[in-house]
Amino acid sequence: MTNQLQLWSPVCDQLGIRYPIFGFAHCVQTVAAITNAGGFGVYGATRRFPQEIHDELAEIRELVGDRPFGVDLVLPPGMPEHNSREAIEAEIPDEHKQFVKKLIDQYQVPEASGPGMRTRFIRSAEIEAAQIEAVLKSDVNMFACGIGSPPEVINAARGQGKVTLALIGSPHHMQRTLAAGVDLIVAQGYDAGAHTGPIGTYSLVPQLVDAAGDVPVLAAGGVATGRHIAAALAMGAQGVWMGTAWLLTTEHQEHLHPVNAAKLIAAGSGDTVITRSESGKTFRQVRTGWSQAWEADDAPAPLKMPYQDVLVGDLLGAIEEHNIEPLIHSGAGQSVGYFNEIRSVADVMDQLVEETCKTLEAQSRFLKST
């Protein structure tokens, strides 16, 4: 009887959640809604000041009560020691500055009223340490590392009773990540939105499941339907981690420029590209005038993180502030082709769960008696 069965995997018991569906979002309301719908919401806080992290995690706690949720920081190795914009600006080549100026002139982008999301502060060891401290002092249940998983940070988070998790996109990173002592691994494939590696989700997940031993793996990148979730479980994952799916939810709209909502609704799976022009690292986003400008023959190669952040951060802010339609863009994965309307998080979750159960039940049809 279909409605008697519930979607479940061991991570549900490990974390005290109803469904093994993890949702990443940069929006407090969306994260809380994912947790309240029976999944596990994770707040992307890497561009937030420590005080904001403190306040926003408290806000999510208020919204979810005792239910668990997480926070994600991106901790790439090799960032500058201090939060110094001038020092970075001094090293940016003239060719790059000229190219950005040309874009500004071509699209007549007025100046932004303040720094953009990527230039509010400069990624540095100094600010990362303060962000980590804010996370450790909070009562958030999980600490997730989007890029990098420094063992001392993982240790400290575990010492505070937090579940720890790292996203990885290659078998090469597995040993280091396991040695850091994480409790969970997200195997994030090439299809994924935002920072992503070169290995497709299908090729990646079973390899990482095998390499992870007893550490549970969640599948990410291209998960959009219950059929994908059933496939992820069949590949040995204990759940899924989704990002693109939540961008077009009702809860997320306060966070998304309306032009981006329209572009995401219109986009199919073939309408995303990987570009380093956003942050200096490979980043999947919807193809727009922005990605095309950086792919043009006259464009310089994007700089490394955090130089590219500083080069384009203010302009990215100005593009949204002044509604420069052709250049407005959002990170999104290939799964964007499945999301064509704005719906509540609870609706998305219910449909995912129902379809996963139906798909799992139907799989026995591929076995016949001999």
Unique residue bearing structure tokens 């922005």: 290
Check: CB of residue 232 under 8 Å from CB of residue 205: yes
Task: Give 187-205 as a DSSP string.
Answer: EE-TTSSEE--SS-HHHHH
Using the minimum distance from each CB to ligand FMN, give the nearer residue, 88 or 242.
Answer: 242
Neighbours of 61 (CB within 10 A): 17
Q: Which residues pair with 44 in a beta bridge?
A: 72
Regarding 46 and contact with ligand FMN (CB under 6 A), the answer is yes
Assign 21 to helix, strand or coil: strand
Q: Is the peptide bond before 93 cis (omega within 30 degrees of 0)?
A: no
What x/- string results for residues 207 through 236 when contact with ligand FMN is judged by CB under 6 A?
-------------xxxx-------------
Assign 228 to helix, strand or coil: helix
Check: CB of residue 178 under 8 Å from CB of residue 213: yes
Using the minimum distance from each CB to ligand FMN, give the nearer residue, 112 or 165.
Answer: 165
d(CA 40, CA 357): 18
Regarding 239 and contact with ligand FMN (CB under 6 A), the answer is no
d(CA 129, CA 140): 17
Residue from 140, 153, 194, 217 in contact with ligand FMN (CB under 6 A)? 194
Residue from 35, 53, 71, 72 in contact with ligand FMN (CB under 6 A)? 72
**Residue type at position 143:** F
Regarding 302 and contact with ligand FMN (CB under 6 A), the answer is no
Regarding 349 and contact with ligand FMN (CB under 6 A), the answer is no
Using the minimum distance from each CB to ligand FMN, give the nearer residue, 223 or 230.
Answer: 223
Residue from 243, 280, 306, 313 in contact with ligand FMN (CB under 6 A)? 243
Residue numbers 256-295 binding ligand FMN by CB under 6 A: none
Regarding 74 and contact with ligand FMN (CB under 6 A), the answer is yes
What six digits make up the tokens of 199? 């290995």
Residue numbers 169-188 binding ligand FMN by CB under 6 A: 188
Using the minimum distance from each CB to ligand FMN, give the nearer residue, 27 or 293.
Answer: 27
What x/- string results for residues 117 through 146 when contact with ligand FMN is judged by CB under 6 A?
-----------------------------x
Q: How far is the CB of 3 from ligand FMN (least distance, A)?
A: 27
Regarding 70 and contact with ligand FMN (CB under 6 A), the answer is no
**Burial class of residue 70 (count of CB atoms within 10 Å of its CB; 0-12, 13-18, 19+):** buried
Helices (H), 194-300: 201-212, 226-234, 258-266, 289-295
Residues in contact with ligand FMN, counted by CB under 6 A, come to a total of 26
Check: CB of residue 219 under 8 Å from CB of residue 232: yes
Regarding 153 and contact with ligand FMN (CB under 6 A), the answer is no
Which range, of 49-57, 114-122, 240-248, 262-270, touches ligand FMN by CB under 6 A? 240-248
Residue from 34, 166, 192, 215 in contact with ligand FMN (CB under 6 A)? 192
Q: Which residues pair with 193 in a beta bridge?
A: none
Q: Which residues pair with 145 in a beta bridge?
A: 73, 166
Using the minimum distance from each CB to ligand FMN, give the nearer residue, 50 or 99.
Answer: 50
* Chain residues that interact with ligand FMN, rule: CB under 6 A: 24, 44, 46, 72, 74, 146, 167, 188, 191-194, 220-223, 241-245, 330-333, 335
